[in-house]
A and B are shown apart, each in its own frame.
Chain A
Amino acid sequence: EDQVTQSPEALRLQEGESSSLNCSYTVSGLRGLFWYRQDPGKGPEFLFTLYSAGEEKEKERLKATLTKKESFLHITAPKPEDSATYLCAVQAGRGGADGLTFGKGTHLIIQP
């Protein structure tokens, strides 16, 4: 069974204080690992897809990395508008399409 565990569950940072969110996964044949951002009352917003160990992607203050067992979302010099819940999900490559398996998310608060 595919499993995704995110840590920490919640994180409070000061504006400008960099940190990393962790996503550990167990999946039989990884097709892709996805990061989403979700604001209260809204659907998840797509951020990144990572396909293979060693891959990195960046977008503004965010950088996602992938190893064979986990992924990190690094947030550099965050601003209050980066406050949101960050979700990690995996998609297995068992032939045919599979739905995404999500972690419970990390609730990030950036204080001014």
Chain B
Amino acid sequence: KAGVTQTPRYLIKTRGQQVTLSCSPISGHRSVSWYQQTPGQGLQFLFEYFSETQRNKGNFPGRFSGRQFSNSRSEMNVSTLELGDSALYLCASSGYGSSYEQYFGPGTRLTVT
């Protein structure tokens, strides 16, 4: 079974720009979660989507948004980029039911200059 894939793997953007990251979950998984990982703060939860609906959201400003499509693929968008948005953005997928394990993709490394 193919794992979680994320594109692109690396991005360099300028402050003030916006960026869109993509995530394809494991086949059959309907839940997709997004996380931001930085050296100082570690892994922090951004939001989770299930069946095209945002089910939960972490403590991030409204510049961070996401969506999920009918095929469970998900995108996250960051508008008006700030230097502090430089991070590894990780996507994780999980099935629905008795198992809550989340399986992570390789991440997108975003650098804001």
Show the binding face of A for B, using Cβ within 8 Å: 31-32, 34, 36, 42-46, 49, 87, 89, 91, 96-105
Contacts and interface: CB of A to CB of B under 8 A. Distances in A.
Nearest to B59: A1
Interface residues of B, number: 26
Interface stretch (B43-51, B68-76, B78-86): B43-51
A99 B58 CA distance: 8
5 contacts: A34-B102, A43-B104, A46-B104, A97-B56, A100-B43
Contacts of A97: 31, 48, 50, 55-56
A63 to B, nearest CB: 18
A42 B46 CA distance: 19
Interface SS of chain B? strand
B100 A49 contact: yes
A3 B50 CA distance: 25
Contacts of A87: 43
Contacts of A32: 100
Contact of A99 (B4, B56, B104, B105): B56
B43 A102 contact: yes
B24 interface: no
Nearest to A4: B42
Contacts of B33: 99-100
Q: Lowest 4 A-B CB distances belong to which pairs?
A: A99-B45, A43-B104, A102-B43, A104-B42
Contacts of A49: 99-101
A105 B37 CA distance: 12
A18 B42 CA distance: 26
Contact of A100 (B45, B99, B105, B106): B45
Contacts of A36: 104
A71 B35 CA distance: 23
B105 to A, nearest CB: 5
Contacts of A104: 42
Given A99-B45, A100-B43, 18 more contacts: A31-B100, A34-B102, A43-B90, A43-B104, A43-B107, A44-B90, A44-B104, A46-B102, A46-B104, A49-B99, A49-B100, A91-B100, A96-B55, A97-B48, A99-B33, A99-B46, A99-B48, A100-B35
